[in-house]
Structure 1
Amino acid sequence: MNEGAIVQDYARIFLQGVPLLDVRSPGEFRQGAFPSSQNLPLLDDDERHQVGLCYKQRGEQAAIELGLRLVSGKERKRRIEGWLDWRTRNPEGQVYCFRGGLRSATVQRWLAEAGQPLPRIGGGYKAMRRFLLESLARTLPGIPLWTLAGRTGCGKTRVIGALEQAIDLEGHARHRGSAFGRRPGGQPAQIDFENAIAIELLRQRARQAAEGVRPVVLEDESKLIGHRLIPPPLFARMQTAPRVLIEEPLDSRIQVTLEDYILGPLGEYSRFYGPEYALDRLGAELLAALDRIRNRLGGQRHSTLSRALNHALAEHRRSGSVEAHRDWIDCLFREYYDPQYEHASRRRSAATPIFVGSRSEVVGFLREHTAPPIPADPQAAFG
């Protein structure tokens, strides 16, 4: 391998999920990164700040010399060992910094001197981010989109997960898309959310080019999932996309909600906070979610639901049984979510859904639906 190799095949990087070594500062990484990247910085936030001030006051060469002094001796050895360990675990990996310049070139040189050359991504984060934004604009017009609708608890996310030609927006947003949708660990940065969606669309377009056009299915969402904004061009397409509608009986919806909002999250909270704290953490979040919709519920309904939820949590702690949760979920559907759904349905377009069925029927319909193939190279469409 060329010790100073520079690569710029952004489409391949994202289509194949190439492991990426991000050597920007931790603060830069938190503002936005890519799904396959890991942050092992050349300069930490304080060091980057010092080097930036030096650059402004004394120029580039002085800033470079300061950076080399800050990362020298034992600290340089420690960071190189971290990069070498990453390189061993990711033999196909590539390195980038913000513009593909000095920081990633320095790491590339030091790794080559250690006998482990690593390709550097030309243009860095800035060029890759621009590529994804441009590919989103190019890709969307050529992809047929369908949206998946239905009442709360009908299992839309389960259908999305059962399909290859689907994008799980809520999964990428790390939020279940309602007042009760928060998850431990919080949401990704807005830029991370956008990058993940753009990469998903890129891969869907490549699959279509290879296998034939199939509508890409997304859940019928509002423009915000928690605090993350669906990219406006995508949301605009979703608003006019054909709809597939899931219809499930109330008992089934209560069961799905019990599993997806109580049992599943309990395991997630256990992994984050430990088994002994999981139910208390989850219970506090459920009660906080009720408080967030207090004004829309009205005082009496909020009070009734709070009592039912507190009773269910107490019984859950006492006996381990989750059955009492069914009561407040049932009440929440009848008193809040179903009336909301009916109101929204009356306001939206009168266009008839292209298919209506149970969850299993919808999965079958979507798996069977295909369209004529388009003769195109999988990567040619992405420039």
Structure 2
Amino acid sequence: MLKKDNQTNEFKEIVLNNIPLIDVRAPIEYEKGGFLNSTNIPILNNEERHMIGICYKEKGNEEATKLGYKLVSGKIREDRINSWINFIETHKNTMIYCFRGGSRSRIAQEWISEALNKDILRLKGGYKAFRNYLIENLSIQNQNYKPIILTGYTGSGKTKILKNIDNSIDLEGIANHRGSSFGSHVSPQPTQINFENNLAYDLIKKQSKNFEYLIFEDEGKNIGKNFIPQEFYDFFHSGKKILVSSTIEERVENTLVEYVIDSQKEYINYYGIENGLAEWFNYIYSSMDRLKKKLGGDRFKKVLDELNFAYKTQLNSGKIDYHKYWIELFLKEYYDPMYSYTLQKDRNNKTIIFEGNSNEVLEYLKNLK
């Protein structure tokens, strides 16, 4: 006989083994926050959920349940069961959940078990319990490693170094943002809930490897629209620092590759060849315009003139080298003065434990396991 109410709260196993999950909540709920290895195949669509919610408030749980069975019946019920089964057949060990592990996931679990003639596990406590588990893993008491902060002037190649070591947490990658005034990608950032969930996933996986150190980039509290939870931010910023030293030529080249060459490819792939470059330019221009007051009128005009000239030259000749001029001006006039103060403070406080070029820093970090 089938056990139709098999439940699990082995959340760490789900994270470490990337166990596929079916989220049966309505799309409007899933859009606010889900899990990396989850797929939304709802038992109720948004309208059905809304109707049942009104019924629950006016007539209680029993009538709301009856309405749910009435709305999801016949062909609709059959189609939704088939959607779950199609997913399960191509994703072994699939588990299922709703918001609190209540009626929706229990009913879906029963229907799936009857159709497949075998059990499927559902998450005990549902989304809420798993989410609480992930948030707990961002608390200080659950950080079983020593944080190290990778710092350096803008464009020194810190993110590239992070991607080449196993014991790193790429906060910008998790936030889908480059962490600067021009840091947005064409694809949207995760919701704040998903940013926190994804960060917790990465931390759990890295800590399972028993690294003595985890390496972070020197980030502000906000990465685009996402923000790092205060307690976790304070913890990793308590770590010692490693300084990446780069020449201005190296920094300009790194910035050119990341913010012009790679960024333009993103825009062209998304908007097409005809509109991609124009959309990229509009984004850079509007981002720079927001910094007008901080740059000051004369410096702003100078940088803007160089940007306009570089863009027009690229359109006419295909050459991108002229972008180096506005990049260098912007690094020297905007970013460097801000970072110089922080760097001097770090030197005074003796928080920098190593300093070197990219290759030297990478070699040093690879020995910090």
Matched, 1:99 2:84: no
Structure 2 residue identity aligned to 1:170: E
* 8 A Cα contact 2:145 2:213, kept in partner: yes
Q: Is residue 89 of structure 2 the alignment partner of residue 88 of structure 1?
A: yes
The question of whether the paired residues in 2 share the 8 Å contact of 1:143 and 1:215 is answered with yes
Return the alpha-carbon distance in structure 1 between the equivalents of residues 158 and 284 of structure 2: 21
| Range 349-358 or range 143-152, more displaced | 349-358
Aligned to 1:313: 311
User: CA–CA distance in 2 between the matches of 1:127 and 1:120?
Assistant: 12
Residue aligning to 2:270: 272
Equivalent residues in 2 for 1:278-357 (5 A)?
A: 278-347=276-345, 350-357=349-356
Which has the larger displacement, 317-326 or 172-181? Answer: 317-326
Separation in 1 of the partners of 2:119 and 2:279? 46
Question: CA separation in 2, counterparts of 1:22 and 1:62?
Answer: 24
Task: Report which structure shows greater RCO (CA 8 Å, sep ≥6).
Answer: 1
Q: Is the 8 A contact 1:23 1:41 kept in 2?
A: yes
CA contact (8 A) 1:3 1:109 kept: yes
- Larger displacement relative to structure 2 (334-343 or 214-223): 334-343
Following TM superposition, the consecutive aligned residue runs of length 4 or more in structure 1 with deviations greater than 6 angstroms are: none
After superposition, residues 137-216 of structure 1 pair within 5 angstroms as: 137=139, 140-208=142-210, 213-216=211-214
| Structure 2 CA distance for aligned equivalents of residues 112 and 275 of structure 1 | 49
Structure 2: how far apart are the matches of 1:92 and 1:318?
A: 56
Equivalent residue pairs, number: 366
Give 1:144 deviation, angstroms.
0.7
Question: Percent of pairs identical after alignment?
Answer: 36
Shift in alpha-carbon separation, 1:5–1:296, aligned structure 2, 3 A: same
The CA distance in 2 between the partners of 1:287 and 1:323, in whole Å, is 18
Aligned residues of 2:147 and 2:238 also touching (Cα < 8 A): no
* Conserved? CA contact 2:183–2:224, under 8 Å: yes
Partner of 1:378: none
1:240 is paired with a residue whose SS is: coil
Segment of structure 1 superposing worse, 151-160 or 316-325: 316-325
Q: Which residue of 1 aligns with 2:65?
A: 64
| Counterpart code for 2:129 | A
Say which is worse superposed, 321-330 or 129-138, in terms of deviation: 129-138
- Residues 140, 234 of structure 1: 8 Å contact kept: no
Corresponding position of 1:258? 256
Superposed displacement of residue 142, structure 1? 2.2
CA distance in 2, matches of 1:59, 1:284: 53
For 1:16 and 1:202, locate their aligned partners in 2 and report how far apart those are by CA, in whole Å. 11
Q: Secondary structure at the match of 1:114?
A: helix
Q: Distance in 2 between matches of 1:240 and 1:18?
A: 34
Change (3 A) 1:48 1:18: same
Cα distance between partner residues in 2 of 1:254 and 1:241: 28
Task: Return closer, same or farther for 1:320/1:87 CA change in 2, 3 Å cut-off.
Answer: farther
The residue aligned with 1:49 is 50
**Hey, what's the Cα distance between the residues in 2 that align with 1:135 and 1:239?**
17
- Alignment correspondent of 1:362: 361
Q: Which letter maps to 2:276?
A: A
1:131 corresponds to which residue?
133
Q: Is the contact between residue 15 and residue 202 of structure 1 (CA under 8 Å) also seen in structure 2?
A: yes
The aligned residue for residue 78 of structure 1 is 79
Kindly state the Cα deviation for residue 39 of structure 1 after the two structures are TM-superposed. 1.2
How much does 1:2 deviate?
A: 4.8
Q: Report what 2:241 is aligned to.
A: 243
Shift of 1:139: 5.2
Take 2:217 and 2:39, find their aligned partners in 1: how far apart are those partners? 29
CA gap 1:205/1:285 in 2 versus in 1, 3 angstroms: same
State the 1:347 CA deviation: 4.5
CA contact (8 A) 1:31 1:189 kept: yes
**How far 1:322 sits from its partner (Å)?**
1.4
Distance in 2, Cα, partners of 1:275 & 1:124: 45
Aligned equivalent of 1:376 = none
- Tell me the amino acid that sits aligned with residue 123 of structure 1: G
Shift, 1:293, TM fit: 0.9
The TM-score with structure 1 as length reference comes to 0.91
What letter is aligned with 1:105? R
TM-score between the two structures when normalised by the length of structure 2:
0.94
Q: 1:193: how far off?
A: 0.7
Shift of 1:23: 1.0
Amino acid across the alignment from 1:183: H
Matched residue of 1:92: which SS?
A: coil
- Identify the residue that residue 38 of structure 1 maps to in structure 2: 39
Q: Offset of 1:3 from its aligned partner?
A: 4.6
The offset of 1:319, in angstroms, is 2.6
CA distance in 2, matches of 1:113, 1:281: 52
